Structure 1
Amino acid sequence: MESSASIEIAKQALLTFGLILAIGSFLGITAKKLKTPDVAIFLLAGMVLGPEVMGVIDIKANSIANQLILIFGSCYILFDGGASLKLKVLKEVWLTVVILSTLGVLISMFVTGVVAYWILGIPFIIALLLGATIASTDPATLVPVFQQVKIRERVAQAVMSESAFNDAMGAIATFTVLGIAAGHAEFSLFGSMGELLWQACLGIFVGGILGYLAAVLIAHEKFSFLLEYAPLVTLMAVIGAYMGADGAHASGFMAVFTFGIILGNKDMFGFEMQEREAERMEDYIMTTALIMRMFIFILLGSQVNFALMNEYLIGGVIVVLIFMFIGRPLTVFACAALDPKANWTRNELLFMCWTRETGVIPGALAGMLVGMKAPGADVVASVTFIAILMTILIQATTTKWVAKKLGMLETV
């Protein structure tokens, strides 16, 4: 009997997923041997394996499979990042994180917009749309990099927290500017800030409730009847936190990140797991997060449009370089100055300037703009992918070297 078209599509998808796991496992081991962040190698491998070169992996950016992987993968990596944060450390730098995640995004957007306007010769509103798209940093990149490179705790947690918290602001800024560019809305500072506050607070509330509930079900002295299924509880709660917050028009990413923070700091709420069970859950989370990194960055690399990138290559590279070496330092030093109690040193701030990789969330926003046929979507997508490649391949791979030069490596 002849196989139906749906079965053939399923077989092809299964083969692709198997290849990603096999190739990703080999590359993960290679990255560990080379002491290089695995996300950079995954990204390069995806570019080679994609339809533009070898054609081994070809999953369209607007396909259901790709969107599912991007959403769930980003959520799980965010959860993993939240679980690795320590509230005792975070409370020392929370004001800097809040300022960087709000005002910092707007500064980055404006600086990038002005530069893009002059360098690329595009309308100012399109330049601002580009600036908003790449203004947020990428937890899917930073979390695994900081797990491989042991940075001073408060610096690492400040940067990872910023990368998680600024996604909501980046998305809001992008669609606010898009509304103006498309002639559907007028800019409203108070309206945008109110929307940000609503998304952030509701996301934190949903994530906090589910995080506490999960802690009760797996670590409470009397009610931990799901202890044996603790790893599966993380999967269910990550999905529940994202969907619950998203359904309430809040930040799903904020919810899963908060869920991770609560679960990772459950001992502060009086919940403790047996050492063996805690290790089993930690191993499961680490393995699942690794698989998500493989899929996200290999797929992201395979979807790079070389023709589109080439059209704006020179101007795009100049814009990204100014963004990296002027825009980001200006953002960090301006925002840190508003939090004198944090007592940031010059070297700490310089390190924070260097660690702001662009990745999954800006890539997803650019893909959505292209799918919506938004004004200037082509140039936005082109420069966004240039930013993704440059920041991951230049900054992520040199994180350890820069940290060593600035004295930011954690001493054992």
Structure 2
Amino acid sequence: MPHLLLLSFATLLIVAVLISERAHRTVLSTAVLFLLGGFVLGDGMLGVIDVAPGDPLVDLLAQLALFSVLFTDGMRVAIADLRSAWRLPGRALLLGMPLAFAITAVVAHYVAGLPWLESLLLGAVLAPTDPVFAAAIVGREEVPGRLRHVLNVESGVNDGLALPAVLVLLGTLGGERASGWVLFEEIALGVLVGVMVPLVVVRLERLPFLKATENLQPLVAVSVGLLVLAICLVTHANLYLGAFTAGITLASAGPELKNEFERFGELVTELLKLAAILVFGALITPSFLFEDIGLSGWIFAVLVLVAVRPLALLLAFAGSALPRRERVAAMWFGPKGFASVVYGLLVLQSGIPPADQIFHLVALVIVLSIIAHSSTDVAVARQFP
């Protein structure tokens, strides 16, 4: 199975790279290609990729991919950058995200029929956004820079902000190995490791007799990430919060290291993300979408896309200086992406009683989000002069 998975991944990667320029102008983004590829090659269709939620390979891939993504997300958001233009992204994160979390939980309870704790968990899993599925919005010069900044900062930070809620709720429901005070200790230790390791390495790197050669500069940040990962695994600290904290600390204390790491690190992260999305797609089957999810699940998924985020950001941006057209675009473009994919896999592997139902709903929302947001981003971007 690992060999066929590797063969499938390598083949799709070559196809994605070769058609990337043309696909960038259509709804067929790289992530969409891997999701569809996993779906077609998975057990429900061709059966080339045979994976199950409990497979050690799935668990390892999800861990590495999420660690890499959170580390890279943290690297994108230095404290100095946030101070320079924080007001509008702050509204989206500190008001819009909790509102979306809460409204999703209410809809999950009253529409999908989940108990309150499970509804809150589903809200936390679906809280992060990922503009990779709306690349035309954040990547086109005609789109106002203020709007692009709001969406970029929001998506760069909300993965890490949603994570503690996911972990605590999983622990409360009995799906984490640690719960209560032990879980708090793991979270606190992860944050401590994420702060201290980058600070020590940056201080060492600036000593006169210690200096990396120019071609090895990108490996300084990579080595920090690997060291944080290793220490967290050895000490049982929470490696995800360790990764996110380490990224922010390294970008803030050593901005030159952030610049050196940027291209190399993002390519490594992208590879891990695409591999995880391929596995996620392979776990989705036709019966999964059309038989296992009832009408209430479909209604829930549609409401999450067309009502939850628009309502949350409508309230969050009330009274702001953001023009109406940009406000409407931000309200619509809250695509569910990679963080929700991996958080959904964590829930599926947790063993809590409603894990399968929650994963079904997460998967449906992500699939519908990819279709809806990837097919409208170019059209909306062209509305800006």
TM over 0.5: same fold?
yes
Partner of 1:6: none
Given candidates 327, 331, 334, the residue that maps to 1:349 is 327
3-state DSSP class of the match of 1:405?
coil
In 2: Cα distance, 1:239 partner to 1:101 partner: 29
Please tell me the residue identity of whatever aligns with 2:18: I
Partner of 1:94: 86
Partner of 2:57: 65
In 1: Cα distance, 2:135 partner to 2:218 partner: 19
In 1: Cα distance, 2:324 partner to 2:50 partner: 45
**How many angstroms does 1:351 deviate by?**
2.3
In 1: Cα distance, 2:327 partner to 2:296 partner: 28
Given candidates 306, 318, 335, the residue that maps to 2:299 is 318
Q: Give the TM-score, by structure 2 length.
A: 0.78
1:12-51 residue pairs with structure 2 within 5 A? 12-35=1-24, 36=26, 37-51=29-43
Establish whether residue 172 from structure 1 lines up as the match of residue 161 from structure 2: no
More moved, 148-157 vs 292-301: 148-157
**How many angstroms does 1:98 deviate by?**
4.5
Cα 1:158–1:199 shift into 2, 3 Å: farther
Given candidates 348, 363, 369, the residue that maps to 1:370 is 348
Cα 1:88–1:285 shift into 2, 3 Å: same
Cα 1:102–1:237 shift into 2, 3 Å: same
Establish whether residue 303 from structure 1 lines up as the match of residue 288 from structure 2: no
**How many angstroms does 1:207 deviate by?**
4.9
Partner of 1:329: 310
Partner of 2:248: 258
Establish whether residue 387 from structure 1 lines up as the match of residue 368 from structure 2: no
Cα displacement string for residues 339-360 of structure 1 (whole angstroms, at most 9, x for unaligned residues): x5xx322233222222322233
Please tell me the residue identity of whatever aligns with 1:380: I
**How many angstroms does 1:87 deviate by?**
6.3
Please tell me the residue identity of whatever aligns with 2:14: S
1:16-165 residue pairs with structure 2 within 5 A? 16-35=5-24, 36=26, 37-84=29-76, 90-138=82-130, 141=132, 149=140, 152-165=144-157
In 2: Cα distance, 1:34 partner to 1:124 partner: 41
**Structure 1: runs of 5 or more not aligned:** 1-11, 408-412
**How many angstroms does 1:244 deviate by?**
4.8
**How many angstroms does 1:48 deviate by?**
0.8
Cα 1:124–1:284 shift into 2, 3 Å: closer
In 2: Cα distance, 1:176 partner to 1:284 partner: 33
Cα 1:297–1:207 shift into 2, 3 Å: farther
CA RMSD between the two structures: 4.0
**Structure 2: runs of 5 or more not aligned:** none
In 2: Cα distance, 1:175 partner to 1:272 partner: 28
3-state DSSP class of the match of 2:128?
coil
3-state DSSP class of the match of 2:244?
helix
In 1: Cα distance, 2:145 partner to 2:211 partner: 31
3-state DSSP class of the match of 2:334?
coil
Cα 1:54–1:215 shift into 2, 3 Å: farther
Cα displacement string for residues 48-68 of structure 1 (whole angstroms, at most 9, x for unaligned residues): 111111122223333332233
Contact 1:45/1:298 (CA < 8 Å) preserved in 2? Answer: yes
Contact 2:53/2:345 (CA < 8 Å) preserved in 1? Answer: yes
In 2: Cα distance, 1:350 partner to 1:201 partner: 40
Establish whether residue 206 from structure 1 lines up as the match of residue 194 from structure 2: yes
Given candidates 260, 264, 268, the residue that maps to 1:288 is 268
Please tell me the residue identity of whatever aligns with 2:380: V
Contact 2:53/2:348 (CA < 8 Å) preserved in 1? Answer: no
**How many angstroms does 1:305 deviate by?**
4.2
In 2: Cα distance, 1:89 partner to 1:348 partner: 21
In 2: Cα distance, 1:346 partner to 1:323 partner: 22
**How many angstroms does 1:220 deviate by?**
7.9
In 1: Cα distance, 2:194 partner to 2:108 partner: 38
Please tell me the residue identity of whatever aligns with 2:96: G
3-state DSSP class of the match of 2:335?
coil
More moved, 355-364 vs 205-214: 205-214
Cα 1:353–1:174 shift into 2, 3 Å: same
In 2: Cα distance, 1:334 partner to 1:220 partner: 49
Q: Percent identity?
A: 19
**How many angstroms does 1:221 deviate by?**
7.5
Cα 1:64–1:182 shift into 2, 3 Å: closer
- Count of aligned positions: 372
More moved, 243-252 vs 358-367: 243-252
Establish whether residue 240 from structure 1 lines up as the match of residue 230 from structure 2: no
Cα 1:282–1:206 shift into 2, 3 Å: closer
Cα 1:101–1:200 shift into 2, 3 Å: farther
More moved, 165-174 vs 202-211: 202-211
More moved, 163-172 vs 240-249: 240-249
Cα 1:74–1:248 shift into 2, 3 Å: closer
**How many angstroms does 1:88 deviate by?**
6.1
In 2: Cα distance, 1:349 partner to 1:264 partner: 34
Cα displacement string for residues 27-75 of structure 1 (whole angstroms, at most 9, x for unaligned residues): 2322321224311122111111111111222233333322332232333
Partner of 1:229: 216
Please tell me the residue identity of whatever aligns with 2:357: V
3-state DSSP class of the match of 2:51?
coil
Contact 1:204/1:254 (CA < 8 Å) preserved in 2? Answer: no
**How many angstroms does 1:304 deviate by?**
1.6
Cα 1:336–1:204 shift into 2, 3 Å: farther
Contact 2:78/2:248 (CA < 8 Å) preserved in 1? Answer: no
Cα 1:170–1:283 shift into 2, 3 Å: closer
